[in-house]
C-alpha cells in the first residue's frame, strides 16, 4: 500500500519549488532581470531540513521531475534540462545533509557563530557542487563570471532563504501569542515592516548614481539584526536582492552606479551581499547567545522559585525547621518551624518561649556541637529536649559549619526534625520483629519435633540423614545408623492402655537420648520405631552402641512401667548407596532381629 502522506508532501514541495522557480526564471529570461539570489534553492533546502531522511527519496524525485519539466518548458534540450535539474538536486542534498549535521536538533536560524560559519561552508560546498554539475552539461556557455554568479546566487539563497523558510514554518506552527510564564525577548518592531523599509530604501539607493549611499541598506540591515538576529539579516539580504531584480528589469544594470554589463554588475552586488552576510554573522551570533542566556536564566529563575516554594511546603509537611548558630556571640536563630516544633509554653507553666536549646535542658547538644567545631563535612546530632509541660522528646539535626578564609568558624547551619515518634515506631517494630522471630523459631522447632517424645520427628531425622550422607560422600568418612523399636509394643498397648504405651515410648526416648553423643541424632520415625544416626562412626562402634542401648533398656525397664525389650538393626553406609538403600538395609537387619527371637541386635549384610 503506498505511503500517501509522503506522496502528498513530495508533491507539495515539488509544486512549491516549480512555482517559485517559474517566477524567477520568467523574471530573468522574459523580463531580463538579474537574479542575485536563487530563492527556489533556499525553499528546497529548508523543506529537506524539515523532512525526515525517510521522506527524502520521494521529495527529491518530485523536485527532479519539476525541474526537468520547467527546463523543458523554457526551451532547454532534454540532456541539458536533465543536467541542470541534477545540479539543483545536488546542491539541495549536499547543503541540507550538512546543515542537519551542523544544527544537531537546534534551530538553523539561532546558531552560534561557529555553527554559522560551518553552515556557510555547507552552503558554499552545495553551491560549488551545483555549479560543477551544471558546468558538465553547458561547458561552452559557462565563463568564470557566469560560474561565479551561479555559485554566489545559490550560496546566497541557501544562507538567507533557508533560515526564513524555517522561521516561517516555526511561526505558522507556533502562534505568536506567548504563553503566560514563558520568557519572551523584549525587542520590539515588526520584521516585515523593517523588510519593507529596507526594500524601499534599496530601490532608492540602487536607482541613484551615488555609490556612497550603499551604506544605507547595510545600516538598516544591521538594525534588523539587532531587532531580530540572523533572521533580520536574511530578510535584509533578500529584500536587497529583490530590489536589484526590480531595478534590472528590462535588461538594465542592477545598480545605476555600476555602468558595466548587467551580470558583471550583479556579481559585484553579490559580493556586497556576501560581505553584508559576513558582517552580520558575529552580531547575530552575539545576540543569539544573549537571548539563549536570557532564556536559560529565566528558566533557572522559574525553576529556583518553584524549588523554594516546594522547599517551604516540604518543611511544613515534613516538620523540618532551620537553625543557625554564631559561635562568636553565642546567638541562635530559630525559624518559625523550629518554634512550632518545640511548642509554645504550656499555660500556667510560667516558662518563657525558648530561644536556645539550653532553655530546654539540651546541654548534651552543645557538647556534641563543640566536638564538631572543626568538622568540614556535614554531621548529625541527636539530642533530647525537655520543654515545660511536654514529655521528653528527641530532635535530630543535620548541620554544617561555615568557615572564613582563615579557617575561623563563622556559623553553624542546621536542619532540625522531631524524631520522637520515629524512634518509638522503630522500637515498636524491633520488639515486634523479636516476637515474630521467636514465634518463627518456635514454629520451626515444633515442625521438626515429635510431640510425644520431644525427639526430632521423621522429617527432621530424614533431613539430618541426608545432610550426613552428603558429607560422607564428599569427605569419604564413615556413616552408620541404628534402627530400633519396642518388642511386642502392641501387647503393651492392649494390656496396659495407650497412656502406658506413651509413657514407655517417652522412657525409651530418654534412655536413647542419654546414650547418644553430641554429634549424633536420635529421632522417632513412626509408632514405636526410632533411628539413631551416628556420623563418622564405624560399623563395629555402632553395633556396640546398639548393644549397650539394648542392655540398658532391658535392665532399667520395669518398676511403675511394664518390662520391655528392644530389637535393633545396624547398617553402615557403603559408597554408591543412597538414603533409601541405607534405611532399607537397617530395616532388614531389624526384621532379622525380630525373626530370631527379639531383644537382640543384628548387623545388616
How buried is 247 (Cβ within 10 angstroms: 0-12 exposed, 13-18 middle, 19+ buried)? buried
Largest CA distance in the chain: 146
What per-residue string of b and e applies to 477-514 under the rule 16 or more CB within 10 Å gives b? ebbbbbbbbbbebeebbeeeeeeebebbbebbbebbee
**Taking a C-beta distance cutoff of 8 angstroms, is the pair 565, 550 a contact?**
yes
Known catalytic membership, residue 528: yes
* 101: number of Cβ within 10 Å: 10
One-character DSSP codes across 556-605: H--TTS----EEEEEEE--TT--HHHHHHHHHHHHHHHHHTTSS-EEE--
**Alpha-carbon gap, residue 229 to 194, rounded angstroms:** 13
Question: Among candidates 560, 549, 559, which has minimal Cα distance to 508?
Answer: 549
CB 195 within 8 A of CB 239: yes
Q: How far apart are CA 344 and CA 389, in angstroms?
A: 10
Q: Which residues pair with 481 in a beta bridge?
A: 533, 571
CB of 343 within 8 A of CB of 387? yes
- In whole angstroms, give the CA distance from residue 231 to residue 168: 10
Residue from 528, 529, 555, 577 carrying the catalytic annotation: 528
Quote the distance between the C-alpha of residue 35 and its chain's center.
53
Kindly state the cell numbers that stand for 17. 519549488
Q: Where in the sequence numbering do the catalytic residues fall?
A: 528
Amino acid at each position: 500500500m503506498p505511503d500517501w502522506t509522503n506522496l502528498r508532501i513530495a508533491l507539495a514541495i515539488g509544486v512549491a519549488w516549480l512555482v517559485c522557480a517559474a517566477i524567477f526564471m520568467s523574471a530573468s529570461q522574459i523580463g531580463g532581470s538579474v537574479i542575485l539570489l536563487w530563492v527556489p534553492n533556499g525553499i528546497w533546502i529548508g523543506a529537506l531540513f524539515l523532512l525526515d531522511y525517510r521522506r527524502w527519496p520521494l521529495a527529491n524525485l518530485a523536485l527532479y521531475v519539476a525541474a526537468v519539466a520547467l527546463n523543458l518548458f523554457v526551451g532547454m534540450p532534454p540532456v541539458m534540462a536533465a543536467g541542470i535539474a541534477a545540479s539543483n538536486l545536488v546542491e539541495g542534498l549536499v547543503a541540507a545533509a550538512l546543515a542537519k549535521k551542523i544544527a544537531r536538533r537546534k534551530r538553523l536560524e539561532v546558531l552560534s557563530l561557529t555553527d554559522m560559519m560551518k553552515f556557510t561552508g555547507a552552503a558554499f560546498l552545495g553551491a560549488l557542487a551545483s555549479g560543477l554539475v551544471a558546468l558538465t552539461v553547458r561547458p561552452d556557455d559557462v565563463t568564470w563570471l557566469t560560474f561565479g554568479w551561479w555559485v554566489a546566487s545559490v550560496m546566497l539563497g541557501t544562507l538567507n532563504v533557508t533560515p526564513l523558510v524555517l522561521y516561517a514554518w516555526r511561526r505558522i506552527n507556533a502562534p505568536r501569542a506567548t504563553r503566560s510564564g514563558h520568557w519572551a525577548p523584549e525587542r520590539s518592531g515588526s520584521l516585515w515592516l523593517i523588510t519593507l523599509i529596507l526594500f524601499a530604501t534599496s530601490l532608492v539607493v540602487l536607482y541613484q548614481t551615488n555609490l556612497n549611499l550603499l551604506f544605507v541598506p547595510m545600516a538598516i540591515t544591521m538594525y534588523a539584526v539587532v531587532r531580530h538576529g540572523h533572521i533580520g539579516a536574511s530578510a535584509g539580504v533578500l529584500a536587497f536582492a529583490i530590489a536589484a531584480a526590480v531595478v534590472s528589469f528590462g535588461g538594465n544594470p542592477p545598480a545605476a552606479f555600476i555602468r558595466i554589463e548587467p551580470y558583471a554588475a550583479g556579481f559585484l552586488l553579490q559580493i556586497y551581499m556576501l560581505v553584508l552576510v559576513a558582517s552580520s554573522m558575529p552580531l547575530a551570533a552575539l545576540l543569539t547567545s544573549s537571548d539563549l542566556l536570557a532564556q536559560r536564566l529565566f528558566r533557572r529563575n522559574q525553576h529556583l522559585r518553584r524549588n523554594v516554594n516546594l522547599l517551604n511546603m516540604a518543611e511544613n509537611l515534613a516538620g523540618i525547621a532551620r537553625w543557625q548558630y554564631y559561635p562568636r556571640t553565642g546567638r541562635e536563630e530559630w525559624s518559625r518551624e523550629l518554634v512550632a516544633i518545640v511548642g509554645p509554653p504550656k499555660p500556667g507553666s510560667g516558662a518563657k518561649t525558648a530561644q536556645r536549646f539550653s532553655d530546654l535542658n539540651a546541654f548534651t547538644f552543645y557538647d556534641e556541637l563543640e566536638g564538631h567545631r572543626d568538622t568540614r563535612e556535614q554531621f548529625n546530632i541527636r539530642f533530647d529536649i525537655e520543654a515545660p509541660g511536654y514529655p521528653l522528646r528527641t530532635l535530630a539535626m543535620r548541620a554544617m559549619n561555615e568557615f572564613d578564609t582563615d579557617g575561623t568558624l563563622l556559623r553553624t547551619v542546621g536542619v532540625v526534625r522531631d524524631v520522637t515518634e520515629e524512634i518509638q515506631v522503630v522500637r515498636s517494630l524491633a520488639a515486634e520483629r523479636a516476637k515474630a522471630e521467636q514465634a518463627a523459631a518456635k514454629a520451626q522447632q515444633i515442625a521438626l519435633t515429635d510431640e510425644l517424645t520431644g525427639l526430632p520427628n521423621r522429617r527432621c531425622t530424614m533431613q539430618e540423614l541426608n545432610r550426613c550422607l552428603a558429607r560422607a560422600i564428599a569427605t569419604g568418612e564413615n556413616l552408620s545408623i541404628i534402627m530400633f523399636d519396642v518388642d511386642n509394643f502392641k501387647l503393651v498397648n492392649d494390656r496396659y492402655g495407650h497412656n502406658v504405651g506413651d509413657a514407655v515410648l517417652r522412657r525409651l526416648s530418654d534412655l536413647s537420648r542419654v546414650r547418644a553423643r553430641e554429634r549424633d541424632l536420635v529421632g522417632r520415625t513412626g509408632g514405636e520405631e526410632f533411628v539413631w544416626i551416628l556420623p563418622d562412626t564405624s560399623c563395629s562402634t555402632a553395633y556396640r552402641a546398639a548393644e549397650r542401648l539394648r542392655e540398658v533398656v532391658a535392665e532399667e525397664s520395669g518398676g511403675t512401667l511394664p518390662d520391655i525389650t528392644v530389637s535393633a538393626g545396624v547398617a553402615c553406609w557403603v559408597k554408591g548407596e543412597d538414603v533409601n538403600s541405607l534405611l532399607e538395609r537397617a530395616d532388614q537387619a531389624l526384621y532379622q532381629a525380630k525373626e530370631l527371637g527379639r531383644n537382640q541386635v543384628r548387623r545388616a549384610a
